[in-house]
Amino acid sequence: MLRGRNWHRAAGASANDIEVLRSVSSATLPASYFKLLSYSDGGEGPLPLDPFYFQLDPTSAAIAAARTGNHGRSDLDGFLIFGSNGGGEYLAFDLRKEAPLPVVMIDMVAGPSSAKLVASDFDAFLGLVGRDPEDS
């Protein structure tokens, strides 16, 4: 997974942490998301399109987001944050849609009205992770 790409990997999540995340999530999250967490529980790298960088939240942060409604941000109901660009945009699953769940970028200040489609589903998003704009 992500071999040959520009990805700064963290140690993978434990099977127990992944099961906790599955159990606390209000939606069925993609298998490829859990596979990424088992490979790299956190980590970061470029994206070839806006927001141009991706910092994957570790499983513990995703569990906290699921348990607390995105850390108490009731305006973000209908999304599950799983990362950011490290500079003002969240990356989230759009839970308002049917599976496969789209990946969106949300401005941290403007909130859900700023949600912009990044990829039609997580597998498509994963295909972008670790690639620089000049790679596309």
Residue 103 inside a domain? The answer is yes
**How is residue 9 annotated by DSSP?**
E
User: Do residues 132 and 46 lie in contact, with contact meaning Cβ atoms separated by under 8 Å?
Assistant: yes
| pLDDT for residue 26 | 85
Q: Is beta strand 116-119 parallel, antiparallel or unpaired with respect to 79-84?
A: unpaired
Residues of the domain holding 22: 8-131
The phi, psi pair for 39, rounded to 5°, reads -85, -40
9 DSSP β-pair partners? 43
Residue 3 inside a domain? The answer is no
Residue 2 inside a domain? The answer is no
Residue 56 inside a domain? The answer is yes
Tens of pLDDT, residues 6-18: 999 999 999 999 9
Q: HSE on the CB side for 41, CA within 13 Å?
A: 16
| pLDDT for residue 136 | 58
Residue 81 inside a domain? The answer is yes
Compute the distance between CA of residue 68 and CA of residue 59 in angstroms, rounded to an integer. Answer: 14
Counting the structural domains of the chain, the total is 1
Residue 47 inside a domain? The answer is yes
Residue 41 inside a domain? The answer is yes
Q: Does this model's pTM top 0.85?
A: yes
CATH number at residue 21: 3.40.1580.10
State the residue for tokens 């589903």.
Answer: 121
Reading the chain (136 residues) residue by residue, the pLDDT tens digits are: 888 899 999 999 999 999 999 999 988 999 999 999 999 999 999 999 999 999 999 999 999 999 998 888 889 999 999 999 999 999 999 999 989 999 999 999 999 999 999 999 999 999 999 999 887 5
| pLDDT for residue 135 | 73
Residue 69 inside a domain? The answer is yes
Q: 88: left (phi > 0), else alpha (psi -120 to 50), else beta? A: left
